[in-house]
Amino acid sequence: SKTPVRVTVTGAAGQIGYSLLFRIASGEMLGKDQPVILQLLDLPQAQKAVKGVIMELEDCAFPLLAGVIATDDPNVAFKDTNVALLVGARPRGPGMERKDLLTENAKIFTVQGAAIGQYADPDVKVLVVGNPCNTNAYIAKETAKKFGRVKEGNFTAMLRLDHNRALSQLAAKSGRSVDSLKSLVVWGNHSPTMYADYRFVTSNGDNVKALINDEAWNRDTFLPTVGKRGAAIIEARGLSSAASAANAAIDHIRDWVLGSNGEWVTMGIPSDGSYGIPEGIVFGVPVITANGEYKRVEGLEIDAFSAERIALTLKELEEERAGVADLLA
Ligand code: NAX
């Protein structure tokens, strides 16, 4: 049988962790023939809760679960890890400014970036889920870079939930099955400024934008619905999205490791300068994945409306980057 893959999950005692861990251990992320070792990181005060989750993992008797460790030490959690899901983050507390949120998270992600940079498997695939996820991924990447072991491109951020949310809205509007929809992209930051771009989407050969044929729907319904979906879930459920976030994290890593079969998927990746996005910024773009690598979809036409939306989400990311610049110096 295959050698186990080491998977680190941070924020393991949290609500996304509770949806994520069982699916990883059952083989839904890396394949039904791939054993995994879970390396769980959470804060000292959450270790008791992590123990409880481990008891439940044991009680599932998953054939693919080859081991579990729990720790509050990032250097232990990221040791030799092959896949790292950075879910734990500092949530915005009462009276906390955006700048404080950025700074508090920057501290967490410099520590974790340094641990990954020194101790992870050099080919580790990193997905940052914890918000602000694009900038947290940027910080981890910039910190890890100093150790010269892990490629910058291995640090990614989760735009897949936004991608999946947009797919389901498009399916409902067009009357086509979600699974028939190809070539969607969500540009930019995982925030309400993201730009879900359906201009290239096809369903069984038909262009879905032409099928819907409603420019006002795009601007007034589709984009705001996708952009504010997270807030709508909180409003309805009293808690933020967890199962759908865990599902998107599984989709992101599964496609990166096992391939997207020629289909586009959205990943937040460090920019190479294409589409006018400054190099190094972690930005949602369309990619095709194969053999454990992603490749940006190049040369897409950017019309005036799209250019405006991309500039808006880029501006926000540039402000976030400026907000943490002193911490990375
Ligand atoms: P919870 O508050 O339920 O869990 C977070 C867990 O992280 C807690 O157990 C906490 O102790 C732990 N934690 C905090 N700081 C840590 C650190 N320095 N090291 C290790 N563990 C730490 O939050 P949950 O609902 O699970 O959400 C987790 C993160 O995902 C949040 O930042 C949230 O904003 C973000 N999300 C990102 C999404 C995306 O699409 N990128 C969507 C869903 C979600 O909102």
Q: Find where tokens 């970036």 sit.
A: 113
Percent of the chain at pLDDT > 90 equals 95
CB 325 within 8 A of CB 103: no
- Residue 10 Cβ contacting ligand 1 at under 6 Å: yes
213-254 pLDDT, tens digit each: 999 999 999 999 999 999 999 999 999 999 999 999 999 999
Q: Find where tokens 């920057």 sit.
A: 106
CB 23 within 8 A of CB 15: no
Burial profile 278-303: b = 16 or more Cβ within 10 angstroms, e = fewer: eebbbbbbbbbbeeeebebbeebeee
Which residues, at least 6 apart from 259, have a Cβ–Cβ distance to it below 8 Å? 289, 290, 291
**Ligand 1: which residue has its CA nearest to atom 18?**
108
Q: Which atom of ligand 1 is nearest to the CA of 242?
A: 25
- Residue 40 Cβ contacting ligand 1 at under 6 Å: no
**Ligand 1: which residue has its CA nearest to atom 1?**
14
Using pLDDT thresholds of 50, 70 and 90, give the confidence band for residue 268.
very high
124-134 pLDDT, tens digit each: 999 999 999 99
Ranges of H-type helices in the chain:
15-25, 47-60, 74-77, 98-119, 133-145, 160-174, 208-212, 215-217, 223-227, 229-237, 243-258, 304-328
Which residues, at least 6 apart from 91, have a Cβ–Cβ distance to it below 8 Å? none
Q: Which atom of ligand 1 is nearest to the CA of 239?
A: 25
Q: What is the mean pLDDT of residues 246-271?
A: 98
- Cα–Cα distance, 260 to 81 (Å, whole number): 23
Q: What is the mean pLDDT of residues 2-25?
A: 98
- Residue 129 Cβ contacting ligand 1 at under 6 Å: yes
Angle between helices 98-119 and 304-328 (to 10 degrees): 70
Expressed in angstroms and rounded, the spacing between residue 144 Cα and the centre of ligand 1 is: 21
Taking the alpha carbons at both ends of the chain, their separation in whole angstroms is 46
Q: Which of the residues 190, 229, 252, 321 is marked catalytic?
A: 190
- Residue 77 Cβ contacting ligand 1 at under 6 Å: no
Would you state the structure tokens that stand for residue 193, as one six-digit string? 């400024």
Would you say the C-alpha torsion 245, 248, 254, 256 has a positive or negative sign? negative
Cross-strand partners of 37: 6, 67
> Which of 129, 136, 250, 282, when mutated, tests ligand 1's pocket best, judged by the most ligand atoms within 8 Å of its CB?
129
- Residue 126 Cβ contacting ligand 1 at under 6 Å: no
What is residue 94's predicted lDDT score, i.e. its pLDDT? Answer: 83
Burial class (CB in 10 A: 0-12, 13-18, 19+), 187: buried
Q: Which atom of ligand 1 is nearest to the CA of 14?
A: 4
190 catalytic per annotation: yes
Nearest to 106 by CA among 133, 79, 129: 133
Q: Does the interface ipTM go beyond 0.90?
A: yes
C-alpha pair distances (Å), 258 with each of 47, 63, 137, 255: 32, 20, 22, 5
Cross-strand partners of 186: 196
83-111 pLDDT, tens digit each: 999 999 998 888 888 888 899 999 999 99
Would you state the structure tokens that stand for residue 180, as one six-digit string? 């028939």
Which residues, at least 6 apart from 38, have a Cβ–Cβ distance to it below 8 Å? 7, 8, 9, 21, 24, 25, 57, 65, 67, 68, 69
> Which of 131, 134, 156, 160, when mutated, tests ligand 1's pocket best, judged by the most ligand atoms within 8 Å of its CB?
131
What is residue 263's predicted lDDT score, i.e. its pLDDT? Answer: 98
Nearest to 261 by CA among 204, 182, 162, 152: 182
Would you state the structure tokens that stand for residue 310, as one six-digit string? 């991309």
pTM: 0.98
Q: Find where tokens 């032409």 sit.
A: 210
